[in-house]
Amino acid sequence: MSAPARDRPWLMRTYAGHSTAEATNALYLRGLARGQTGLSVAFDLPTQTGYDPDHPLARGEVGRVGVPVSHLGDMRRLFDSIPLERTNTSMTINATALWMFALYQVVAEEQGASPGALRGTTQNDIVKEYLSRGTYVFPPGPSLRLTTDLIAYTVRHAPRWNPVNICSYHLQEAGATPVQEIAYALSTAVAVLDAVRAGGQVSEEDFGEVVGRVSFFVNAGVRFVEEMCKMRAFTRLWDRITRERYGIEDPGRRRFRYGVQVNSLGLTEAQPENNVQRIVLEMLAVTLSKGARARAVQLPAWNEALGLPRPWDQQWSLRVQQVLADESDLLEYPDLFDGSPVVEAKVAELAEGACAEMERIEERGGLLAAVESGYLKARLVASHARRRAAVESGEAKVVGVNCHEATEPSPLTADLDTAVLTVDPATEAGVVSALAAWRAGRDEPRAREALARLARAAEGSGNLMDVSLECARAGVTTGEWAGALRAVFGEFRAPTGVAGAPVAEAAPEGSPLAAVRAKVAETAAGLGVGRLRLLVGKPGLDGHSNGAEQIAVRARDAGFEVVYQGIRLTPEQIVAAALAEDVHCVGLSILSGSHTALVPDVLRRLRDAGGGDIPVVVGGIIPAADAAALRAAGVAAVFTPKDFGITEIIGRIVDEIRRAAKLDPQEVPA
């Protein structure tokens, strides 16, 4: 009897990028040599938000969470010795997606490849940036225009490219339930396709090609049965939407095509070796069901809750995929879950709930209206608060965090300073210097004229891709391209969702929250004020605001008056707000690694402005050595992912306020 035919495995990627284009290129070449079948580009925050490395907001962020790509020269170096016509490249880029694709296409042309040969994906989903990740630049309307311009261009000139990758990944990390993740992602896809159809750039004959090139990028959590059912529900509903709403008859064009990264924010700092089995379970959720199997998979590394993974850590994650695909018999069988009444019931439940949520969005005027009103953000903040409360109460068990906490010493983390990759702070100065040299060496009149043409085109209604390609060839920088569009489109600050979030945790007598609330009231009375005031600030370009929002909500429920103005603030703005609002504590949230540059700056500015007695606390992914340095610099307390109890954190903040004010008897001078 012949062996069963094996399916082709999914694309295997590692999300990677750091320091410089040269360093990241070396990382890609090593990954391809280890058996990766696709590349996944992580861009740094200045690149994602349209700033050059020498912009004040970029300070401390250059090369931290990805690779800086400031101009055509950087893109050339990023893909040096990598033939783009034979490479499948995924780019996690949204606000500046059209610009990054323009740079990528020009590099491909320089290699001798035509745009029609390019294969890969630009994420190009700006909606979830307003809700979760925070790397938006422009208001929703102009942002959607950039999305549809890239779609229309690639359909004509790069038909093998996926121009939009609807991303629900970060929605789950921001608190989305499976139902919300399905509903918000599909509503985004509908908004994008409706905008393409209404824009008139794509003919009715070619519209089916647009639908067929829409892809998705999802998150897979550790509840892998529910996650697998989520993917089957996604597949079922997308088939229905494309057939009924858009009249697509070709089953191939109705296929739900998705890539996945499993849940990074679900990884733990405590007992981080447990993250390996979490990653495996999450991968199974998107590979076991043949009918809803991912087309591309990228896995995080076991130590991402500690810091930036090393190449060896990324190799380990790649090997996890390779063992499943090459050693197991998974790819030899049809769908394992067809006909299961348990699976069918769960899929139907998720699909029904998602349809109901999509109807609520339509009742509020559609997706963009629901974003601008703050409805979607408030829903996510509320569901995330419920999730965190379940972990704190022990209702949701997390091994090594709130149960099974006893542990043997781990050899993996015996030396925490070498357990993660550290970006040399001197890298930023080198990148800034290289940028100055690039500007000095270009044809300046040509660059200025290209930018003027871009601005004129933005004021009209034509497609912005051709003028962006000219900007790329003329040596225009990322910050200049985005700056020209900012001048026309303006900027946007998304709703925070904090004010509209309901109380997530009750405070019955005798509960931890009730005790903290009493201590807040007692401290306010001791200071002679009506309420304690806490400023929650996010300096720099880090847009991962989930933790900051949860601190703000719980502090509010504990009796604080909370000052929270959202993301992307300079140290100057944070200090000015702290003094203007006369706050009793400043809490800084930074997950991008820029804490070493930005926190000392806030401390210095507070002291210089006469606010040196205001305690400053910091939360984020902060290695032990950095935490010690921050405390030595004057930070009152440092919180990392191991500090999962939000109510306890609020209690410790009150303690720091009392200590600074010398309210405790033992701290009152004799």
Catalytic annotation, residues? 15, 169-170, 538, 542, 544
Q: Name residue, tokens 């004799």.
A: 670
d(CA 67, CA 381): 30
d(CA 372, CA 374): 5
- Considering only CA atoms, which of 66, 9, 34 is closest in space to residue 316? 34
d(CA 388, CA 547): 10
- The answer for residues whose C-beta is within 8 angstroms of residue 29's C-beta and 6 or more apart is 81, 82
497: exposed, middle or buried (C-beta count within 10 Å: 0-12, 13-18, 19+)?
buried
| DSSP state at residue 309 | P
Long-range contacts of 437-444 (CB under 8 A, 24+ apart): 438/70, 438/71, 438/73, 438/475, 438/477, 439/475, 439/477, 442/474, 442/475, 443/474, 443/475
Q: Give Cα 502 distance to the centre of its chain.
A: 24
Q: Name residue, tokens 């305690």.
A: 615
Partner residues linked to 536 by β-bridges: 564, 587
Backbone angles phi, psi at 164, to 5 degrees: -145, 135
Contact status, residue 550 vs residue 178, Cβ threshold 8 Å: no
Question: How much of the chain is in helix, strand and coil states, percent to nearest 5?
Answer: 55, 10, 35
- The answer for residues whose C-beta is within 8 angstroms of residue 414's C-beta and 6 or more apart is none
3-state secondary structure 493-539: CCCCCCCCCCCCCCCCCCCHHHHHHHHHHHHHHHHCCCCCEEEEECE
Q: How far apart are the first and last CA of the chain?
A: 91
Contact status, residue 431 vs residue 62, Cβ threshold 8 Å: yes
Q: What is the DSSP string of 347-389?
A: HHHHHHHHHHHHHHHHHTTSHHHHHHTTHHHHHHHHHHHHHHH
Q: Name residue, tokens 């820029």.
A: 594
